Amino acid sequence: MENRREAFNRALADFLEIPRDLVLDIPKLTLVGRNELYLENHRGIIQYNPNLLRINLSRGFLEIEGQNMEIKALMPEELHIIGEITSVRYRD
Amino acid sequence: MGNRFFEQFGGVITVVLRGQYPERLINMALTRGIYIWNIKPAADGMRFEIRSSGYEALHTIAEENGYQLKIVSRHGLPAYKSIAKRRVGFMLGGIFFIAALYMISSFVWFVEVKGNERITDQRILTTVAKYGVHQGAPKWSFSRIQVEEQVLRDIGDLSYIKIEIRGVKANIEVVEKIVIPPNEITGPSDMVAARSGVVEEILVLDGQAKVEAGQAVAKGDILISGTVTPVLSPYAPPPLEPLLPYQVQARGVVKARVWYEGYGECPMKTENMVLSGRTAHQVSFITPWREFTLWGKKRPQFAREQVASTSNKLDTPIGPVGFNYRQYSEETPEVITHSEMEATQIAKQKALESLEGQIGQSAKITDSKINLLSSPSDVILRINVSVEVIEDIAISQPISGLENSTS
C-alpha cells in the first residue's frame, strides 16, 4: 500500500516536474566541506553522541560518523550539524 | 542575526538533560514545536539551549517521562532584569546621568555673532534674544527659520542671517547691507575740478568738455559743462529751427597731474623695548568671586614686563569659571641709532602713510621728491615729501542757479 502510494507520488512529481524532496518527503542533505551538514525533512534523532549521529528519516535512517559533532540547530523539519564529519551513510 | 536578537530579547536558557535516551525527549520536544539548538554532550546527559518561553513545556514533558532537567544558565533581557533589580541605584544613576546630559545639552549656552561691522553685537544679541535665542534658552523653544526671518525684519541693515545651533552653541552669521550713498545730484550738473592741477587726459561721457589735455586748472574750474551748445555740422543741411543750448548731467573722467605734500619724521636714536628672554608664568583659577593663584608668583619681579594671558573661561549663570594662564616676559630697553639714510627712509614711509588717506585709491604716484627740513645736528630728522599723482579730479556740481531735487 505504502509502496504504491510512493510510486504514484513519484510519477506525479516527475510528470509535473516538481522537485522530489518537496513531494515525496525525502531527505535533502547539504554538506559544506566536511564540517557542516544541513539536513531537511528528518524525523527526529535516534542517537546522538559526538562521534555518531543517527537521524530518523521517512524511510530508514541516516548514520553520520565524525568527531566532535554538535547539533547547532534543531527544527521540526531541519537540522544543522557542525563538527568533523567522516561519513554519511543510509541505513534501512 | 535577527533571530539571535529576538532570542536575546525573549531570553535564552541553557539546560542539562539527564536520563536514559535523551534523544527521545528531544524528539518529543521537537514535535511540540520547542526550538532547540547548540546540542552538546555533557558529563551525564545532554546540554542544549532553548527559549525561556519553551522551558515550561519542556520541563513538563521531562517530568512526565522521568527525565531530569536542570538550568545551567540564563541569558538575554529577562536574565538581566533580575540583575537590574539588584542594582537599582546604579541603574537609576545611569538613567539620571543620561537625562541630565540630555537636559544640559538641549539648551543654548553660548551665543556668538560673526560677520557684523557696523551693527553692534549687542544689538543683534538683544534682537535674537527677543525671539528666544539667548543663553539658557531651550533649543526646542524657537524655530531657527522664524527667528531668522523676524530678525531680518527688525534689523533693516541686515541682508542675511544664519543661526546655526552646534551642540550648545548658537552661531549667528550675518551679512550687512552694503549702503550705496545716494547720488544727490539728479538734475543737470557740471563736473568741476576738486583740486588744482594739470589735465593729462579727458574722457567725456555726457556734456561738453571745457578743458583740454595739458591745460592747468584751478580748484573749482568747470571741466565738463552740463550746458551743451549744439554745434552745426558743416555737411548737414541747416536745421529749420535754430538749435538751442540744452542741459544735461555731465559725466566723465578727467585725469590730472596733482601734487600732495606730506610730512614725516624719524628720531635719529630710538629706544626700543626688547625681550630679554627671562620669563615667568602664572596659572590662576577664576571663580565668580575671586581669582586664586594656583602656580607661580603673584607679582613677578621684573621692572618692565610684557604680559600675555590666555584664559579658558566658561560663562555660567553665577559668573565666569575657568583657568587663566599668564606669561610675563621681561623687557629691557635697547637704543637703536639710525644712519641718515635709514632715518630718511623711515620718515618718508611715515610721510607717505600720512598721505594715504588723502590720495584716492585709483591714483597713480608718478613722482616723489624729498625735502629735508631739519639740520644734520638735530635729534629728529624731519622731511617733507611732495608726491606727484595722476588722478581723477572731476566731481559733480549742480549747475548754479538751478533747483536740485535731492533724493
d(CA A30, CA A45): 18
Of the candidates B368, B366, B296, the one whose C-alpha atom is nearest the C-alpha of residue B325 is B296
- The side-by-side arrangement of strands in the sheet containing B197-206 is B216-217, B197-206, B251-267, B380-392, B364-372
Query: A61-74 and A52-56: which strand pairing?
Result: antiparallel
Q: Is residue A21 part of a domain?
A: no
In total, how many domains does chain A have? 1
Q: Do B38 and A47 make contact, defined as CB atoms within 8 angstroms? A: no
Distance of CA B48 to the CA centre of its chain: 64
- Which residues on B lie below 8 Å from A71 (Cβ)? 36-39, 48
- Which residues on A lie below 8 Å from B38 (Cβ)? 70-73
Interface A-B: count of C-beta contacts within 8 A? 43
Q: How far is A14 from chain B (nearest CA, A)?
A: 31
**What residues contact B214, with CB distance under 8 A and at least 6 apart?**
B198, B199
Q: Do A75 and B30 make contact, defined as CB atoms within 8 angstroms? A: yes
- Residue B39 has its nearest CB partner, among A47, A48, A56, at A48
Flag whether the ipTM exceeds 0.85.
no
Give the model's pLDDT for residue B235. Answer: 85
What CATH number should be reported for the domain holding residue A47?
A: 2.60.40.2000
Q: Is residue A71 part of a domain?
A: yes
Classify A2 as helix, strand or coil.
helix
Q: Is the pLDDT confidence value at B92 over 50?
A: yes
Cβ atoms of A37 and A31 within 8 Å: the answer is: yes
Cell of B406: 535731492
Classify A83 as helix, strand or coil.
strand
Q: What is the CATH number of domain B2-82?
A: 3.30.70.260
**What pLDDT digit, counting tens, does each position of B229-243 carry?**
887 777 877 777 777
How far is residue B99 from each of residues A72, B80, B92, B365, measured CA to CA in Å?
42, 22, 10, 69
Q: Is residue A33 part of a domain?
A: yes
d(CA B394, CA B201): 11
Q: Quick one: pLDDT band at residue B1, thresholds 50, 70, 90? A: very low
Give the model's pLDDT for residue B403. Answer: 46
Of the candidates B31, B89, B29, the one whose C-alpha atom is nearest the C-alpha of residue B53 is B29
Classified by CATH at the fold level, domain B107-176 comes out as Ubiquitin-like (UB roll) (3.10.20)
Query: B269-286 and B319-337: which strand pairing?
Result: antiparallel
d(CA B264, CA B259): 16
Cell of B173: 552669521
- Give percent above pLDDT 90 in chain B: 14
Q: Is residue A19 part of a domain?
A: no
φ/ψ of residue B83, rounded to 5: -65, -40
- Which residues on B lie below 8 Å from A76 (Cβ)? 30-31, 33
Terminal C-alpha separation, chain A: 18
Q: What is the mean pLDDT of chain B?
A: 84
pLDDT along chain A (92 residues), means of 10: 77 82 81 93 90 90 93 89 94 88
Q: Do B23 and A71 make contact, defined as CB atoms within 8 angstroms? A: no
d(CA B114, CA B130): 19
Q: How many other C-beta atoms are found inside a 10 Å radius of the C-beta of residue A48?
A: 23
Q: Is residue A83 part of a domain?
A: yes
Mutating which of B12, B17, B28, B40 best tests the A interface, going by the most A Cβ atoms within 10 A?
B40
Q: Is the pLDDT confidence value at B333 over 50?
A: yes
Q: Is the pLDDT confidence value at B50 over 60?
A: yes
Q: Is residue A20 part of a domain?
A: no
How far is residue B26 from each of residues B20, B56, B288, measured CA to CA in Å?
12, 14, 73
d(CA B197, CA B320): 61
